Amino acid sequence: MSKKVLITGGAGFIGLHLANRLLDEGCQVHLVDNFSRAVNDTELRETLARKQSDFSNINLNDISSINSLNTNFDTIFHLAAIIGVVHVLERPYDVLYDNIRMLGNMIDFARRQKKLSRFFFSSTSEVYAGTLKYYDLSIPTPESTPIAITDLSHPRTSYMLSKIFGEALCQQAGIPFTLFRPHNVYGPRMGMSHVIPEQLRKAFEAKNNDKIDVFSVDHTRCFCYIDDAIEMIWRMMENTKCENKTLNLGTQNPEVTIREVVEVCYSVTGKNLSINEKLASSGSPVRRKPDMSKTFELIGFESQVDLYDGVAQTYDWYRKNIFEGEKVTAR
């Protein structure tokens, strides 16, 4: 009998890629989203046209709407959240309050399932931000790193704190869980506010020999292509050793500067462009590099797609579907 899987935030970036992989594996997949950030585009409609897929437009802050769902899911992925720097800076109270309330509602729903095998919660690499600011953060950063909290008055703290509180809720809920902390996952269909799609758009619109503004050029990241991230999540789901574990999700190598990844973006467009260096963005960590040894030990997989190929595939999708196509994507 095929597994029955519920994905909140199912119309989002990771959610829809995960849904398609689970459908490929023969699972029955029910997507939940309210389109507060995600979009109802061609790719979502194609996914929902597949056999064994279903969809509900539900506000996860509304308990009565959640209660309308079935209670026979084997696995629940809670990916829904208010995310993105724009929302975090403009609506920090909503980010903190709604993210925690949605998770609490979904944990209550998970407890009512007849045969729940696992509850997955998508946390964030931002949980390490306080440790980076106030203490010596180990680089690469393992999951066992002590967590510190940044200034509570800073809007950006709201998102980090909602995820730290969320991890604690999952660990105290009395249900089988897996927490994963995504690190700079990128690829087709992600929101335009992230560095790779943003720079691809600017490069597409630019003329040869233009200079493009780039912030935080010397900060470093390890970028993980979406196909590799989905493979890791699938293996976490299939491996019972990942139960009740907290795992980094991402790529440990290579660690590249923002300058280097932007130059890759320019290269795949085939244009001769240069960088106009700007100051570092407020609150942006100087380095972010996950220690992936624990995840690799448990699932036996590490990233396969190199940065150039991943960015090239991402550009091809954006050019066809956004820059020259529907022009509709998440912020």
Tell me the mean pLDDT in the region 260-280. Answer: 96
- pLDDT score recorded for residue 36: 85
Read off the DSSP letter of residue 61.
Answer: T
pTM of the predicted structure, to 2 decimals: 0.96
- pLDDT score recorded for residue 168: 98
pLDDT at position 127 over 90: yes
Tell me the mean pLDDT in the region 91-110. Answer: 97
3-state secondary structure of 273: coil
Summary count for the chain: helices (H), strands (E): 12, 13
Spatial distance between the Cα atoms of 289 and 303, rounded to a whole number of angstroms? 14
Spatial distance between the Cα atoms of 304 and 29, rounded to a whole number of angstroms? 26
Tell me the mean pLDDT in the region 308-321. Answer: 97
- pLDDT score recorded for residue 85: 78
Spatial distance between the Cα atoms of 59 and 54, rounded to a whole number of angstroms? 16
Strand duo 274-277 + 4-8: pairing: unpaired
Residue type, 214: V
pLDDT band, very low/low/confident/very high, at 84 (cuts 50, 70, 90) = confident
Bridge partners of 275, per DSSP, are 212
Tell me the mean pLDDT in the region 64-83. Answer: 95
Residue type, 62: D
Direct distance between the N- and C-terminal alpha carbons of the chain, in angstroms, rounded to an integer:
38
- pLDDT score recorded for residue 328: 65
Q: 10-54, pLDDT tens digit by residue?
A: 999 999 999 999 999 999 999 999 998 888 999 999 999 999 999
pLDDT at position 283 over 80: no
Tell me the mean pLDDT in the region 114-127. Answer: 97
The residue among 181 and 89 whose pLDDT is bigger is 181
| Cβ atoms of 23 and 47 closer than 8 Å | yes
- Label residue 18 left, alpha or beta by phi (over 0 means left) and psi (-120 to 50 means alpha): alpha
Spatial distance between the Cα atoms of 198 and 200, rounded to a whole number of angstroms? 5
3-state secondary structure of 35: coil
Q: Among 3.40.50.720, 3.30.565.10, 2.40.110.10, 3.40.50.2300, what is the CATH number of 4-183+226-239?
A: 3.40.50.720
∠ CA 159-47-200, rounded to 5°: 55
**Burial of 173 by CB count in 10 Å (0-12 exposed, 13-18 middle, 19+ buried)?**
middle
Q: 167-220, pLDDT tens digit by residue?
A: 999 999 999 999 999 999 999 999 888 999 999 999 999 999 999 999 999 999
- pLDDT score recorded for residue 156: 87
CA 181 centroid distance within chain: 8
Residues contacting residue 81 through CB under 8 Å, at least 6 positions apart: 9, 99, 102, 122, 162, 163
- pLDDT score recorded for residue 102: 98
Tell me the mean pLDDT in the region 98-107. Answer: 98
3-state secondary structure of 51: coil
Q: 139-174, pLDDT tens digit by residue?
A: 999 999 999 999 999 898 999 999 999 999 999 999
Spatial distance between the Cα atoms of 180 and 298, rounded to a whole number of angstroms? 13
Where does 112-220 have alpha helices with state H? Answer: 129-134, 157-172, 195-205
| Cβ atoms of 33 and 12 closer than 8 Å | yes
Read off the DSSP letter of residue 52.
Answer: T
- pLDDT score recorded for residue 38: 87
pLDDT band, very low/low/confident/very high, at 326 (cuts 50, 70, 90) = low
Read off the DSSP letter of residue 309.
Answer: H
